[in-house]
Structure 1
Amino acid sequence: MLGAMRRVVGVVAALLLAGCSTAESPGGSAPPADPPKGIKVEVVAQGLTHPWEVGFLPDGRMLVTERPGRLVLVENGKTTRIKADLGDVVARGEGGLMGLLVHPDFATTRRFTACFNTAKDIRLVTFELDGIEARRVQDPLRDGFPANPSGRHSGCRLSLDKDGSMLVGTGDTARASIAQDRASLGGKVLKLDLRTGEGGVLTYGHRNVQGVAVRRDGLVLTAEHGPDVDDEVNVLKPGANYGWDPSKGGTEDGYDEDVPMTDLSRFPDAVPAVWSSGRPTEAICDAVFLDGPEWGDLDGALAVTALKGAKLLLFTITAEGGVHAVSVPAELDGTHGRLRGAELGPDKALYVTTSNGTDDKVLKVTRG
């Protein structure tokens, strides 16, 4: 009897060390907080198909990528198709036209970078916008990201680091060895020069990074899909391993998703998640920090969209990057279906995209 009790205690301790939670609440491994008050949601664009990413131009207009391989401009609620050579985009499963980053010097260069699947790989291409036409000026900026023919675990979220470089979150393409293979660009967060595409792996051991958020002090957090348990929010530490290894140290050829999201037994130095969904997963997606007095006590909170969970999660983040509490606004809790993209506009409002497949929308979220 005593031995059995010790085994139970050992299992519980292992779960705690792994940052796992079995609590079926939006709080996951952090305490849930009351829904914030005064949240307002407006539709600013509609009639879209799987809008993946929103990027703001200096004049406040929005560029939006649609996963089937279309790029649109949004102004005053009107959407205009951008003429661009996107004929090599392969939209299949989770893959297609995905991440977008408007360059910080867009006012003079007119440049933005997009990420998409092709028949060979996933790649970054830089475009120059002229009116409603976009031409390729760096094709590719960087190629050779691994891709699964099914599109599974394509990743490819783009974000601007505090030093002006580009951070790219990639997926492991549902292949067993890729996340731990430092020679591969899959299952990683990459740090690249925005002008040349040069650079390499910042962190590794990821399953499918869907959100990369940079706080004003330079702290970087990611949002990552778990299998059937443990979506994760992680604080990035350069050179660190985040512990996903479905190959079990190279002993499995198949994609064994029963391994922990952060396998501290196999990788004792792996970085534990600062938040884990436990069960069920939310399929968390894009992430961005709210920033401005307009948000009141939510100033500095991390906003994370959820696909399966069909909600917006707001994380109260400590100075060191820990998660203090999680709240879910009632106005974005199952009210608009699957939520994917998240971007803070120049007006400090939060812009969120739906991903339901028909009549998708861009939503403007503010706090009164």
Structure 2
Amino acid sequence: MRRVVGFAAVLLLTACSNAPSGGTAPDAGPPGAIRVEVVATGLTHPWEVGFLPDGRLLVTERPGRLALVDRGRRTEVRADLGDVVARGEGGLMGLVVHPDFASTRRFTTCHNTARDVRLVTWELTGAEAARVRDPLRGGLPANPSGRHSGCRLALAANGKLLVGTGDTARPEVAQDRGSLGGKVLELDLATGEGGVLTRGHRNVQGIAVRSDGLVLTAEHGPDVDDEVNVLKPGANYGWDPSRGGTVDHYDEDVPMTDLGRFPDAVPAVWSSGSPTEAVCDAVFLEGEEWGDLNGVLAVTALKGAKVLLFTVTAEGGVHSVSVPEQLDGTHGRLRGAALGPDNALYLTTSNGADDKVLKVTRG
């Protein structure tokens, strides 16, 4: 396992003290006892994995397909997904299986249409899914090209649905209180009611909820500064490519967290510096099975083709970062990350051909 470093406002380094500031650098560390198994193949850009009470996996595929995985066998779910627009970064994305699925058979997804990004609640019967709330919530802005179409779903400790959205690569969206783009939303899972929890985000790709209720997000930077952030209700995270409305183009030379323009903005707890990793989904590893990795935050990376493991303090500060060699460039681009009912870590690859679901355990 190697250790990497990035700049952060509350980062305490325990290794790599000679690493260049603002970047990532390897450091020799003890080999991690990590085991990686392939549990499904033949997928295309799988975005999210959900777990059903009978042990099957439910997977969204970005081109507009739902799949059930049972003991390695993939079955396509029959569902009306004709309005999914899979273009660029957009398509069928986030998924959350409802806590009462055993009785309701319901799950919620997020996808691009020709007009917007929307949440839809479904009911699964056998290998067929029907829309029961369409939309659960609509009107999330979309870019026709699909750029910055992040739509990650997670359940908060209070049962609310958290939705991380992208800013659609438009200059004013992230700071516009009237827009649902460049935000984290907090919605009622049954009704879709609710609104903006935080603003000033570029493109939220991961939302991780710890058992004590702490929420961290993973977010794409431009050519520098991917971020991990602690979520604070009502907070601004400082992304403003409109420069306070003074420019009408998408100016990506602004800081990811612009403390000059927004002194009260929340600084990142970790930032990649340069180069970026294209961090994606995030989940806490929890359970005695993980040994000394119990409580670690696992974050996937697309461009970096790795998993970063963050040791996180009680308050959400990042103490150290490491990369297990078994998940460092070994499976290509990594997107989805979810903790299963067996406390194993499930990952999805996003290489575009014969993509996989991986199961990661402590060896």
Tell me which interval the TM-score lies in, with the shorter structure as reference length: over 0.9
1:295-334 equivalences under 5 Å are 295-334=290-329
Separation in structure 1 between the aligned mates of residue 330 and residue 21 of structure 2, nearest angstrom: 25
Q: Report the Cα offset of residue 35 of structure 1.
A: 5.6
Question: Alignment partner for residue 270 of structure 1, among 252, 256, 265?
Answer: 265
Deviations 1:100-139 (A, max 9, x none): 0000000000000000000000000000000000000000
CA distance in structure 2 between the partners assigned to 1:366 and 1:271 by the alignment: 34
Q: Deviation string for 1:211-264 (max 9, x for gaps)?
A: 000000000000000000000000000000000000000001100000000000
Partner of 1:112: 107
Instruction: Output the CA distance in 1 between the equivalents of 2:331 and 2:112.
Output: 27
Contact preservation (8 Å) 2:10, 2:270: no
How far apart, in 1, do the equivalents of 2:316 and 2:22 lie? 22
After superposition, the Cα gap between the structure-2 partners of 1:193 and 1:138, relative to the gap in structure 1 and judged at 3 Å, is same
Whole-Å separation in 1 of the counterparts to 2:338 and 2:53:
14
Letter of the structure 1 residue corresponding to residue 23 of structure 2: E
Paired amino acid for 1:268: P
Deviations 1:23-43 (A, max 9, x none): 43258xxxx683652100000
Counterpart among 159, 162, 167 of residue 157 in structure 2: 162
SS of match in other structure, 2:289: helix
Q: How many residues align?
A: 349
Q: TM-score, normalised by structure 2?
A: 0.94
Contact 1:26 1:328 in 2 (8 A): no
Structure 1 residue ranges without an equivalent (≥5): 1-14
The aligned amino acid for 2:293 is L
The equivalent position to 2:125 in structure 1, one of 122, 127, 130, is 130
Instruction: Please say if residues 26 and 326 of structure 1, whose CA atoms lie closer than 8 Å, have aligned partners that are also in contact.
Output: no
Provide the residue aligned with 1:24 in structure 2.
23
Cα 1:45/1:255, change in 2 over 3 Å: same
Letter in 2 for 1:141: L
Matched AA of 2:115: K
Query: 8 Å contact 1:33–1:327 — kept in the other structure?
Result: no
Query: CA RMSD of the aligned region, Å?
Result: 1.5
Match for 1:214 among 206, 209, 212? 209
- Cα separation, 1, equivalents of 2:169 and 2:30: 35
Name the SS of the counterpart of 1:331 in structure 2. helix
- Cα distance in 2 for partners of 1:33, 1:342 equals 26
Please tell me whether the aligned partners of residues 9 and 269 of structure 2 are also in contact (alpha carbons under 8 angstroms). Answer: no
Aligned residue runs from structure 1 range 1-368, under 5 A: 22-25=21-24, 34=29, 37-368=32-363
CA distance in 1, matches of 2:359, 2:275: 28
Question: For each residue in 1:180-209, what CA deviation from the matched residue of structure 2 results, as whole angstroms up to 9, or x when unmatched?
Answer: 001100000000000000000000000000
Instruction: Answer yes or no: is the 8 Å Cα contact 1:247–1:255 preserved in 2.
Output: yes
Preserved contact between residue 33 and residue 326 of structure 1 (Cα < 8 Å): no
Structure 1 residues 285-334: Cα deviation after superposition (integer angstroms, max 9, x where no partner): 00000000110110000000000000000000000000000010000000
Mapped partners of 1:353, 1:125: distance in 2? 22
Structure 2 residues not aligned, in runs of 5+: 1-6, 12-19
CA offsets 1:16-57 (integer angstroms, 9 cap, x no match): 8699x8443258xxxx68365210000000011000000001
On the 8 A contact 1:36/1:328 being kept in 2, the answer is no
- Distance in 2 of aligned mates of 1:33 and 1:194: 45
Identity of paired residues, percent? 79
**Contact (CA 8 Å) 1:73, 1:82: kept in 2 or not?**
yes
Deviations 1:313-358 (A, max 9, x none): 0000000000000010000000000000000001110000000000
Q: Does the CA contact (< 8 Å) of 1:310 and 1:338 recur in 2?
A: yes
Tell me which protein shows more helix as a share of its residues: 1
Provide Cα deviations, 1:136-179, integer angstroms capped at 9, x if missing partner. 00000000000000000001000000011100000000000000
- Return the alpha-carbon distance in structure 2 between the equivalents of residues 343 and 292 of structure 1: 14
Equivalent residue letter for 1:337:
G
Q: 2:8–2:271: 8 Å Cα contact kept in structure 1?
A: no
- What is the alpha-carbon distance in structure 2 between the residues aligned to residue 33 and residue 231 of structure 1? 23
Partners of 2:305 and 2:331 within 8 A in 1? yes
The amino acid of 2:196's aligned partner reads V
